[in-house]
Amino acid sequence: MNADQRMEIFRRFRTANPHPTTELEYTTPFELLISVILSAQATDVSVNKATRLLFPVASTPAAIYALGVEELTSYIRTIGLYRNKAKNVIETCRILLEKHGGEVPRLRTDLEALPGVGRKTANVVLNTAFGEPTIAVDTHIFRVSNRTGLAPGKNVDQVELELLKVVPDEFKHDAHHWLILHGRYTCVARTPQCWNCIIADLCEYQPKTPLPTKAV
């Protein structure tokens, strides 16, 4: 795939969705951080259901820390790995209060020092909360990048580095959201919906999935 093809891919994404954003529901950088921690190996839908109950009750580091692990667990029990996530969230709140004045840090090193926060989570927070041109690579973006030929790589770190290299600067801020939505709803894992894809003619995936035929 050449530079002109990549440019056209992101032009089409922008035309179809000029202002993409995360499907996680949040109002502050802290709420986003907690939501992303909770979303590991879970769907955004399940996280939103839990935080709609949690955030009206506790939406600051101090308030969630005051809940303690057991009470926090009662709010997030429907999310996968909820016990470990509850411990991570409480410890994260403690560190935010003790080391960062209750604010979400804007440095990657500080973010990645928080329990439950890896490179992907840090990238999401830096991009979505603070407007940094980072690209968080999850399973959807890894699949789309390799399947289309946009930014092939053997692991998520390689794909991230390749995306940062090949995505035109004007699209870098929104690239993460466009790619994850494309992977979530069109370029899905088992049977990509090539017949309904706005970049099918630019994609290197073969053979393209044909339009399903209706049973008579």
Instruction: Give the integer Cα–Cα distance in Å for 128 and 150.
Output: 22
120 is catalytic: yes
138 is catalytic: yes
Instruction: Give the integer Cα–Cα distance in Å for 65 and 58.
Output: 9
In the chain, the largest separation of any two C-alpha atoms, in whole Å, equals 66
Of 138, 172, 208, 214, the active-site residue reads 138
Of 120, 154, 157, 169, the active-site residue reads 120
Catalytic residues: 120, 138
